[in-house]
Chains A and B, each alone.
Chain A
Amino acid sequence: MGKVAIIGVGQSSFVRGYPGTIKELAFEGFREALQDAQITTKDIEASIICSAPEYDKQRSPAGVIAEYLGLIPQPTFYLESLCSSSSMGLKVAYSMVKAGLHDSVAVIGFQKMSEISSAESQERMGRGADIQWESPFGTMMPAYYAMYARNHMATYGTTPEDLALIRVKSGTYGQLNEKAVYRKSVTLDMFSDPESTMSSPVASPLRVGDCCANADGSSCVIVVNEEKAKALCKKPVWILGVGAASTAVNMVGRDLFNGLTVAQQAGEQAYKMAGVTPKDIDVAEVHDCFTIAEMMAYENLGFAKPGEGKELIRAKETYKDGSIPVNVDGGLLSKGHPIGATGGSQIRTIVLQLRGEAGEIQVKDPEIGLVHNIGGVGLYGNVSILGR
């Protein structure tokens, strides 16, 4: 069987309070991907629509969005794995194309987090854990990642300043990304300045500056078989590896508290499938919903040994000109995190990098890129490896 390629990528701007419907939002990323691939809706044989349903008023969004995008009567369905939904979409699209079921599949991620009121959003936040045994204690997403940060600090001597350095890097590149929701630079001083929002505690040891912002946004990735890729595209980007794993939602079902097992496992699968090692990765997008999440990603993906992620960021090795550039588009911390659209946005960045079309943030001549996308607090993990 032949190879599977990505021939088009697109994303909307990530914004607060998108002034339109979820259909109109999805259209923005979709149109850009079709224009990028220079194809029409007739060239797409199936669509996978990815989001986290708790933010939608529309029941069963897949059919409604597919109709708006002109993708009927082709088959469409909905796919959800929280924040990694569109990376899971890539894996499923890869499987469908590889199996010969369809020549081309569009993976469309979207999230309009402002679709519901902030009170409704706060209520849903409390149900992001095991609702039977954890939510009754008043848990929320930042507090779980904070617990990982606490254990990482206690085990390895990582400091709050090390985490802040990751946010400083994010700001460096976020200000260059015209599609990012947060486009300002961030300095280390802000984290020690009580007047700055960045220093305000959220869930110890994490502060506002350690957390990404909610946003509305959409993304789209066009996946095709080898024959179609060669016929339609001058610079196809090949899908070399797609790993995925899951674990216990409840913290009591886990054994590792300074790293995410799903990232390790999905990474190992993807490296093996692609026949590469961490040293072969030239540019990476990792799921930095919180600064600690990027720190753990360095270690879980093998860019650094366990506990040595802090050395990478201290030495600026994950900057654009470092040994392993990570999140040089500003990451989730600057771009914002529209749950279902996030993975597609990460994939888009890596595809542009591999084509040499990333503009100001272009890394020097990358051949192999990696996307690490996590759902929930390491409940789902996806790692995808792409090559030119």
Chain B
Amino acid sequence: MGKRKIDVRFSKFGTVSFTSTTKVNDFIDYLEQGKVMGTKCKKCGALFFPPRADCYKCLESDMGWFEVSGTGKLVTYSKLEYCPVGFEDDLPYVIALLDYGDYKVFGRLADDLPEEDVSVGMELKTVSNNLPNGQLSYVFQKP
């Protein structure tokens, strides 16, 4: 009897990933293709970002994927001068939240977009990126 192979694709997400297995592991494959994707419930049409495997509204688990496209409004942001273990090489960095209307996206500003150049309410877009440590993520940029 061979050991069942465990799908640990999610360990590739972010500077430090804290979980390796999820039912939405395809998110990582899409990131590799340059796409930031959420899920859509095939029954009720609800959009989820970050992607969910299960729809709590109609208790369905039959989900499709949609791409995060266009721009979202910058709701808020903060530049960190301290960090948890594992993020020291990234300091300082700016975490932020974008509102796309039907859903919101939590992430970071791109390294070449300093805090001084953004303000609450401005439009930004979400793009996938490769991190220096070989991990995959996404960042917010000016459109």
Give A contacts to B, CB under 8 Å: 119, 122-123, 125-127, 131-140, 142-144, 146-148, 150-151, 154-155, 200-206, 250-252, 257
Please tell me if the beta carbons of B16 and A252 are within 8 angstroms of each other in the complex: no
Report which residue of B22, B49, B104 has the largest number of chain A beta carbons within 10 angstroms of its beta carbon: B104
Q: Is the CB of A139 within 8 A of B19?
A: no
- Cα A202 to Cα B92 with chains together (Å): 10
Q: Which residue of A lies closest to B86 (CB)?
A: A126
Interface residue ranges, B against A (CB under 8 Å): 10, 13-19, 22, 49-50, 75-87, 90, 93, 95, 97, 103-108, 115, 119-121, 137
Nearest to A250 among chain B residues (CB) is: B106
**Contact status A137-B95, CB under 8 Å:** yes
Is A252 a contact of B97 with CB atoms below 8 Å? Answer: yes
B76 near A140 (CB under 8 angstroms)?
A: no
Q: How far is the CB of B91 from chain A (nearest CB, A)?
A: 8
**B80-A252 in contact (CB<8A):** no
A151-B104 in contact (CB<8A): no
With contacts A135-B16, A146-B78, A147-B77 taken as known, whether A126 is within 8 angstroms of B87 at the C-beta atoms is yes
A and B contact pairs by CB, cutoff 8 A, 15 listed: A123-B86, A126-B16, A126-B86, A126-B87, A131-B18, A137-B95, A137-B106, A138-B95, A140-B82, A143-B78, A146-B78, A201-B81, A203-B79, A204-B78, A252-B106
B95 touches A147 (CB 8 A): yes
CB neighbours (8 Å) of A151 from chain B are 75-76, 120
| Chain B min CB distance to A205 (Å) | 8
The residues of A that contact B82 with a CB separation of less than 8 Å are 140, 142, 202-203
| B18, B49, B81, B107: the one within 8 Å of A135 (CB) | B18
Q: A132 with B81: in contact, given A137-B108, A252-B103 (CB under 8 Å)?
A: no
Closest chain B residue, CB of each to CB of A136 = B14
Known contacts A252-B49, A252-B106; A132/B83 CB under 8 A? no
Check B104 against A251 for contact (C-beta < 8 Å).
Answer: yes
What residue of chain B has the Cβ atom nearest to residue A120's Cβ?
A: B85
| A251 in contact with B97 given A137-B108, A138-B80, A201-B81 (CB within 8 Å) | yes
- CB–CB B85/A148 < 8 A: no
Complex contacts, B17 vs chain A, CB 8 Å: 136
Complex CA distance for A25 and B128, rounded to whole angstroms: 49
Q: Are A125 and B84 in contact (CB under 8 A)?
A: yes
Are B103's CB and A138's CB within 8 A?
Answer: no
Closest B residue to A258 using CB positions:
B76
- Most B CB within 10 A of own CB, among A131, A138, A143: A138
* CA A139 to CA B10, docked complex, whole Å: 18
Please give the distance in Å from A243's CB to the nearest CB on chain B. 24
**A143 touching B103 by the CB < 8 A rule?**
no
Asked whether B83 lies within 8 Å of A257 as measured between CB atoms, the reply is no
Given the known inter-chain contacts A150-B120, A252-B106, please indicate yes or no for A136 contacting B84, CB distance below 8 A: no
State in angstroms the CA–CA spacing of A194 and B18 once bound together: 37
Give 6 A-B pairs besides A122-B84, A132-B22, A151-B76 with Cβ atoms closer than 8 angstroms. Answer: A136-B18, A137-B95, A137-B108, A140-B82, A251-B97, A252-B103
